[in-house]
Amino acid sequence: MFIDDVSLTLIAGNGGNGVVAFRHEKHVPLGGPSGGNGGRGGSVIFIGNDGLTTLLDLRYQKRIAAPHGENGAAKNQFGKDAKDIFIRVPIGTVVHDLKSNTIIADVTKHGQEVVICRGGKGGRGNYAFKTSRVTAPQVCEKGEPGEEREVRIELKVLADVGLVGFPNVGKSTLISIISAAKPRIGDYPFTTVAPNLGVVKVGDGRSFVVADLPGLIEGASAGAGLGFQFLRHIERTRLIVHVLDMGTIDRDPYQDYLKINHELMTYNKKLLLRPQIIVANKMDLPHSEERLEQLKKQVKDVDIIPISAYTKTNLDDLLYQIADKLDVVSLDQFQETIQEEVVEYRYRPEEPPFTITKDDDEVYHVTGRMIQKFFDVTDFTIDENVKLFARRIRNLGVDARLRELGVKHGDTVRVLDFEFEFLD
Ligand SMILES: Nc1nc2c(ncn2[C@@H]2O[C@H](COP(=O)(O)OP(=O)(O)OP(=O)(O)O)[C@@H](O)[C@H]2O)c(=O)[nH]1
Ligand SMILES: [Mg+2]
């Protein structure tokens, strides 16, 4: 719905492989293990940056991959860790994992780092497997694969300026003449049902983004009208421009002003700390001047800018005042008045280490998080490593469980997508 929304694939680097090696010493046949560990794969990390306002940098990318870790080497040399990839994203960036359909990150602060895809750990070389009993291990691990995710990235920072006010006061009319936005405008309440965004350029070159929001009514903070969800959007704007109708006979601008502020405050007390400007609109209509004088007496602490969106009067003054106000509201100050906690979620399903099911052909099938993890780091071309894999899954309790299920020596068992003979 809003400014930006991009989908792409992010891939962390694989860990480097560990190796099997032995020191060569004269007269010592196996001079002690010396295979080093692989290095860590690079992670893909998002970092909040308040200088960015769009996801444009990501728009034309389909895939971003971090480098792999280096393999270990003989003489117990560790492979180098790969460099992480840092992707700068604007504040308000929300990252959805498309596969699990969950939100995995919500970047709300400058400098906030969120690891989106974790680099794979390096595999251990045979030096790491040396124990007092096994002095010449032949085993090593492959590096773990880096995480890969399909993500949808959405920018939720709505705008610099939010236009608020009762329905029909002229919010959409205003945005339609100060920006290129083309909202529906109508002589009846609730013409606008979803926010419209417009980029406004000021005469001196400054620019800002304005959101025209659906009108609020009394009780909006409790869910009346279209209220509640749009109050959330107001929360994400830096400056509130409060539009009042000065010309329509049956409206009392001051009461309107109080009511809307009451709704804002009920929704989030801190919203009243957000800077406001009052736009006294419809100054082309009769009696508006008297009402303006009246309003100026009633509201003393907020700037009131009289305009007519209809006759396009005094709009330049309004835009300069908005731009000046925005210049002095720091983003930090704005974030302090956001109600939500800084959230940083990662999807961690509570999966069991393994599960055993029976396939259609009556073969037992072992799958699961830990099995996959051990599988990924095993180089099955090396006998010793296959044995290590077998030992590891036995330690998880897989063999015992298979035996309970009635599997006998020599039976076929499927582990992930591969078939093994069960040796008891
Ligand atoms: N006379 C006069 N009429 C105006 C002015 N600004 C807007 N209007 C009229 O007021 C009516 C409502 O305008 P909108 O811009 O749709 O109002 P809104 O605040 O966006 O209303 P909602 O979307 O329902 O919240 C339209 O008929 C506009 O033509 C103005 O400065 N003077
Ligand atoms: Mg409107």
Please write the tens of the pLDDT for every residue from 248-272. Answer: 988 899 999 999 999 899 888 888 8
Q: What is the pLDDT of residue 346?
A: 41
C-alpha–C-alpha distance, residues 355 and 369, integer Å: 9
Least confident of 164-173, 344-353, 390-399: 344-353
- Tell me which of 237 and 46 has the higher pLDDT: 46
Q: Identify the band that residue 343 occupies on the pLDDT scale cut at 50, 70 and 90.
A: very low
Give the lowest-confidence range in 65-74, 207-216, 352-361.
207-216
Instruction: Ligand 1, residue 190: give the atom nearest the CA.
Output: 24
The pair of structure tokens assigned to 48 is 């909040």
Residue 414 confidence class, pLDDT cut points 50, 70, 90: very high
CA atoms within 13 A of residue 214's CA, in its CB half-sphere: 19
pLDDT of amino acid 1: 33
Predicted local distance difference test score (pLDDT) of residue 339: 43
Given a cut of 60, whether residue 287 has pLDDT beyond it is yes
Task: Decide if pLDDT at 348 tops 60.
Answer: no
Which tokens hold the place of 381?
């071309």
CA of 357 to the centre of ligand 1 (A): 65
What pLDDT does 227 receive? 59
Tell me what percent of the residues of the chain surpass a pLDDT of 90. 52
Residue 398, CB-side half-sphere exposure with 13 Å CA sphere: 29
Both tokens assigned to 387: 């044995």
Residue with CA nearest ligand 1 atom 2: 282
Residue nearest ligand 1's atom 9 by CA? 170
- Burial code (b: 16+ CB inside 10 Å, e: under 16) for 384-394 equals ebeebbbebbe
CA 186 to ligand 1: nearest atom: 16
pLDDT attached to residue 235? 77
186 C-alpha to center of ligand 1: Å?
Answer: 7
Segment 40-61 mean pLDDT: 86
Structure confidence by residue, pLDDT tens digits, 79-111? 999 999 999 998 888 899 999 888 888 887 889
Sorting pLDDT into bands at 50, 70 and 90, what band is 28?
low
Q: Which residues have C-beta atoms less than 6 Å from ligand 1?
A: 165, 167-173, 185-187, 189-192, 214-215, 247, 281-282, 284-285, 308-310
Select the more confidently predicted residue: 188 or 105. 105
Q: Which of 160-164, 302-306, 309-313 has the lowest mean pLDDT?
A: 160-164
Query: Confidence band (pLDDT; 50, 70, 90) for 230?
Result: confident
Residue 218 has pLDDT above 50, yes or no: yes
Which residue's alpha carbon is nearest to atom 8 within ligand 1?
A: 170
Mean pLDDT of 369-382: 89
State which of 163, 169, 244 you would mutate to test the pocket of ligand 1, scoring each by most atoms of that ligand within 8 A of its C-beta.
Answer: 169
Looking at per-residue pLDDT, the higher value among 213 and 3 belongs to 213
Whole-angstrom Cα distance, residue 182 to residue 184?
7
Ligand 1 centroid–CA 187 distance in Å is: 6
Atom of ligand 1 nearest to the CA of 212: 20
